[in-house]
Each structure stands twice: as C-alpha cells, then as structure tokens.
A and B are shown apart, each in its own frame.
Chain A
Amino acid sequence: MNPNSANQRWSKWVWFVVPGRTMQRPFANLKENCARFGRKAFGAASQMCITQNARGYIVEVLTEGHPVHDGTYVQYMRAQWQKFFEEGFGLGTKTKLTAKLMAGSRQDGTAADQMLIVPSIRFDHGGLTDGQRTVRES
C-alpha cells in the first residue's frame, strides 16, 4: 500500500464517546458493533482501532476514498455515527468527532498531504521479528 500515490485520499476519523448512563455495553460487544457499522459507513478497506478509557471509548478509523475535506460530508458522518452511538448507549451519549485528511488533495489548490505509518520496535524478542530469531540452547 502506498498512500501517497496519485488519486488516493486517506483520512483519519476519531470519535470520543462518553456513553449515556442508561445502557452499559460489554467492550467486546462494542467492538463488534462498531466494526459492523464501520464497514457499512466506510467500506472494508479501512482500519479501525477502539480503546477504552476511564470516561468512555475512542474509536479511530483510517480509511481511503472519503471526501474529508467536504464539510457537508463530515457533518453527515457525524450525524450517522451520533445516531449509532445513541442507539447503542442510550440518550445522553456524548460524542466528539475529529476528521483529518492524512494523504491526498484538499482540492483547494494547495499541495497534497502525504502520510507515513511508522512501525513499532519490540525488544521483548531481542529487537528481532519472529523470522529473525534464533534459538539459543544452553
């Protein structure tokens, strides 16, 4: 995947969700429902990450092909997801959406944004990936 090739537009959508008090949901249930709704809203070619914190949940979606530079579209998505979260958690659920262009053109004459995704280094494997590990015998 090269997100910086021509004619691609990648965007990141982040919802901060504070559930209403009426309906508590198991985390696994939330992840399943968000994944299902996300596939409908964004299509399958997207990545979703859901984390739980003391106040609620953070739902992050990295997706390709959506006009995040179009305020009307962002408003539409905000309304759809607000409805989804309210149906799941009940009235009083608060959501905050940030949507950001990660790669591609804003179609306003400015230079296109580009995106990098940096991998993580893990040293619990001696700094090596599984394929590089050797067995040390005593």
Chain B
Amino acid sequence: MANGLYAKAKQSFLNKTQDLDSDGIRAILADAADYSVNLSTHDSLDDVAAGARVATSGNLTSPTITDGTFDTADFSWTSVSGDQSEQVILYNHDGNGAGADSQRQLIAFYDTGITGMPVTPNGGNINVTVNASGWFSL
C-alpha cells in the first residue's frame, strides 16, 4: 500500500464536517499484521481493529492549516510496548462530537517512506518528527 488520504476524509473536507485545526487530531501506531488498509472504504476508527493499535497519541498540538497544508508539532508515544509496527494512522478523535470509534473519522494513512520503520516497541518512548512540509498538502 502507499501513503494516502482516506476517500471519506476528502469527502468530509469538502462537506466541511472536519475542522483539522480545531478538532482533536490524534495519531495511531499500527501493526500491519492486524490492519489491512482500504483507503476507498474505511471511514472510521472502528475499521481499525483494537488489536492493531499499538499506541495512540493524545491530541496533536499546534495544528495549523496554511495554504492547504496540514501540520502539527512533533509528538511522542510514551512507554510503548507491543507488536512490531509499520503504519501511522491519523484520525479525528472528537470532531462533530464524536464519542465512539464508529464516529471518529480516519484521515490519513502512512506506511511508506517512514524513517525508522518498522519499529519494535521496547517499552520506551517513540518520538515522531512530522515532515517539515506537514502531514499532507491538498
């Protein structure tokens, strides 16, 4: 698979149902053995099995939207243990009052070109540097 935006996320941007610099955007470290992405059909967090989620961040800080580019500050998953992981998934944790995984919209998927992947959690922190060009540009 390749990096990409979920089709339903693009639709939600056009329908203005996601506000990326106001909603709580979080990142998941995921195990490719337990999650096979489908960018066309997967739309919410319940499409990602709980067992595939090795670590989940808090809300990413300093979100910005500038000239179509979404960016945040770097972040860490702390004290991570679990399976070897190959994927990073960005999702909207609380947009539109979402309170359940079935309401939390998936945004972007990364499994290609990530420096340091695959990563085998060792109980320590995993520090993530967001690209200088942001998460994605439309």
Tell me, yes or no, whether A binds B: yes
Count A-B contacts at CB 8 Å: 99
**A1-38 at interface with B (beta carbon < 8 Å):** 1-4, 12
| A115 B135 Cβ-Cβ under 8 A | no
Query: Which of A2, A49, A110, A117 is packed against the most chain B CB atoms within 10 Å?
Result: A117
Main secondary structure on B side of the interface with A: loop
Main secondary structure on A side of the interface with B: strand
* Contact among A4, A12, A62, A120 with B136 in the assembled complex (CB-CB below 8 Å): A120
**Across the interface, which residues of A come within 8 angstroms of B117, CB to CB?**
116
B61 beta carbon closer than 8 Å to chain A: no
Q: List 22 A-B contacts (CB under 8 A).
A: A3-B116, A103-B116, A113-B125, A113-B127, A114-B119, A115-B115, A115-B116, A115-B129, A116-B88, A116-B114, A116-B119, A116-B126, A118-B110, A118-B128, A119-B3, A120-B69, A120-B131, A121-B3, A121-B4, A123-B138, A124-B138, A127-B4
Distance (Å) between the CB of B2 and the closest chain A CB? Answer: 9
**Across the interface, which residues of A come within 8 angstroms of B125, CB to CB?**
113-114
Q: How extensive is the interface on chain B, given as a class?
A: 20 to 34
Given contacts A2-B116, A112-B124, A127-B4, contact A119 B110 (CB under 8 A): yes
| A119 B119 Cβ-Cβ under 8 A | no
A79 beta carbon closer than 8 Å to chain B: no
**Across the interface, which residues of B come within 8 angstroms of A120, CB to CB?**
69, 131-137
Distance (Å) between the CB of A47 and the closest chain B CB? Answer: 9
A103 to B121, CA, bound (A): 12
Task: Please give me the 3 A-B residue pairs with the lowest Cβ-Cβ distance, nearest first.
Answer: A111-B124, A117-B115, A121-B136
Query: Which of A120, A122, A123 is packed against the most chain B CB atoms within 10 Å?
Result: A120
Distance (Å) between the CB of B31 and the closest chain A CB? Answer: 14
Interface string of A95-130 (1 = CB under 8 A from B): 000001111000000111111111111111001000
